[in-house]
Chain A
Amino acid sequence: MANTIDRLADQVRENRIWRSIFRSGTGESNLHRALTVQQNVFLHLFSVKARKRTLEFSATWYLGALTFGTFLILVITGILLMLYYHPSVPQAYADMKDLQFVVSSGVFLRNLHRWSAHAMVFLVFAHMFKVFYRGAYRPPREFNWVIGVVLLLMTLLLSYTGYLLPWDQLAFWAVTVGSNIASAVPVIGAKMRFLMLGGTAVNANALLRFYVLHCVILPFAAVVLIAIHFWRIRKDGGIYSGESPAEGDAK
């Protein structure tokens, strides 16, 4: 049975149409495995081989991968939530109630998005401290550390802008507290706050701005930065493997 499935899979992969899309072809050899990674526009962000030691759980606790996992969950659930959401006052809140009482699995969808968002913030912090305590920020990885710090800020902004969208008391006042801090910036504080909220208080304009930031601008920026972050792991010689003499052969 397993043989039949393997043969069928091979037949599909040897098919002309398949080969025109995925050029790596079939086979168990390391060459094919290498081509699978190298010839794929997304996968070629990663190196073809990895040091075995860096794959041990203790090396990374897989925190970076898990952070990316939460990001994927958030993108998927976020797109689904966008189908039920209007960024206007007070319709936004009514949509929350619709998710609760009308939409199939609406509550689950919102729960998964919310808890994944909290998990992502937590995991980004955990990832940062793990990288620090491993000393993995050392050259030649210093700029990837900087990109990581920017991604931390991106994550906080994504979470913060998403916080307003349900338009309930919790959302409104949390964002009011936050935006008041922005106005404490010397000289440009009030202007910054005005730009952020589209007005002098948290209102319908602020909701729309946060929606656009949350669903378009920040995710796009995050995706670009994540791609660079991953690609630089390869360029900087793979995942840091400690005080190893075999460090840093960029591919």
Chain B
Amino acid sequence: MSDPKDFVAVVDSDVRKTPRRIAFITKRTSPQVHVKDEERVMTYPEVFFRTAVAIEVLAILLVIISLRWNAPLEGLADPMHTPNPAKAPWYFLGLQELLHYFPPVVAGVLIPGLVVMALIVIPYFNINIEAEGLWLRDKARRLRVFGIVVVLFCIFLAVFDVWVALVPTLIVAAFMLLAAQTPPQTTRGFRGWLASKPLSFWIMTWFLFELVVLTAIGTFFRGPGWSWVWPWRT
């Protein structure tokens, strides 16, 4: 408590329940303060019952799927005979698609490593916790930085011919620009919603978009020799 400004004063004024009091909450304490009560239900049976119903529905769905479609089973494993293309499980096909463009140390180690690191550190950055709209402050400078980063990144992708990753990047960048062009007083509608979105939202949305696009391309649009195929023509 060396810094005297390291607290905020909170007044709890629900006099029917508590005497009027002032609490000092330092920045280090979790915000464990009741300002008002919220309606609560008993975990047993309310939460367990709802959860059980949700799991039941999913189980029935999976049973129906399992009765209708058989799990794939190919011939006995044969190290002498490589199928073309040899594909990893679907959730790794985004990475396998990247392997097509970058050396294995980049696509197989560096990129997934960075993704995991980035996911882990999300809650430890105040910028993600305050979650202020990206363009609400310091707009001119942020636009400059944004422009430089996007252009450099797009050049990088173009140099390596990663057009499949370039398209989602450009689409997300376009929406970010749209958010930046929204007048600050707009708080309603789609544009108001866009304008309220923080940097972490944009990065995560871009990541989700890339993940879906790369996985879908690796799964459906890649044939022999990892060449481009149209799934409806095979």
B66 is an interface residue with CB less than 8 A from chain A: yes
Complex Cα distance, B8 from A62, in Å, reads 36
Q: Are B77 and A111 in contact (CB under 8 A)?
A: no
Complex Cα–Cα for A207 and B32 (A): 50
Q: How far is the CA of A218 from the CA of B105 in the complex (A)?
A: 26
CB distance from B223 to the nearest CB of A (A): 15
Nearest-CB residue, chain A, relative to B77: A172
Interface string of B31-55 (1 = CB under 8 A from A): 1111111111111111110110011
Q: Which residues of B contact A112 (CB under 8 A)?
A: 62-63, 66
Is B122 a contact partner of A132 (Cβ separation < 8 A)?
A: yes
- B73 and A55 within 8 A (CB): no
Q: How many angstroms from the CA of A89 to the CA of B99 in the assembled complex?
A: 30
Of A48, A65, A129, A141, the contact of B204 (CB 8 Å cutoff): A129
Bound complex: CA A111 to CA B61 (Å): 13
Chain A residues contacting B134 (CB-CB under 8 Å) are: none
**Which partner residue on chain A sits nearest B198 by CB separation?**
A135
Contact-residue size bin, chain B (C-beta under 8 Å from the other chain): 35 or more
CB-nearest residue of chain B to A140: B30
A contacts with B: majority SS: helix
Q: In angstroms, how far is the closest chain A Cβ from the Cβ of B78? A: 6
Q: Report which of B43, B51, B72 forms a contact with A48, defined as CB distance below 8 A.
A: B43
Over the window 72-112 of chain A, the binary record of Cβ atoms lying under 8 Å from chain B Cβ atoms (1 yes, 0 no) is 11000000000000000110010010001000000110111
Q: A50-B43, A52-B39, A132-B204 are in contact. Are A170 and B72 (CB under 8 A)?
A: yes
Q: Is the CB–CB distance between A96 and B73 below 8 Å?
A: yes
The size class of the interface chain A forms with chain B is 35 or more
B78's nearest neighbour on chain A, judged by CB, is: A169
Task: Tell me if A215 counts as interface (CB < 8 A to partner B).
Answer: no
Which residues of chain A from 13 to 39 have a CB within 8 Å of any chain B CB? Answer: 30, 33-34, 36-37
Q: Which residues on A sit within 8 Å (CB–CB) of B96?
A: 177
Contact between chains at B89 and A249 (CB < 8 Å): no
Contact B38 A246 (CB under 8 A): yes
Binds A, one of B80-88, B137-145, B148-156: B80-88
- What's the minimum C-beta distance from A155 to chain B, rounded to whole angstroms? 9
Contact of A49 among B30, B42, B105 (CB under 8 A): B42
Q: Are A159 and B89 in contact (CB under 8 A)?
A: yes
How far, in Å, is B105 (CB) from chain A's closest CB? 5
Contact of A168 among B31, B76, B92, B107 (CB under 8 A): B76
B residues in contact (CB < 8 Å) with A: 30-48, 50-51, 54-55, 58-59, 62-63, 65-67, 69-79, 81-83, 86-92, 95-96, 99, 103-105, 107-109, 116, 119-120, 122-124, 128-129, 131, 200-201, 204, 208, 211
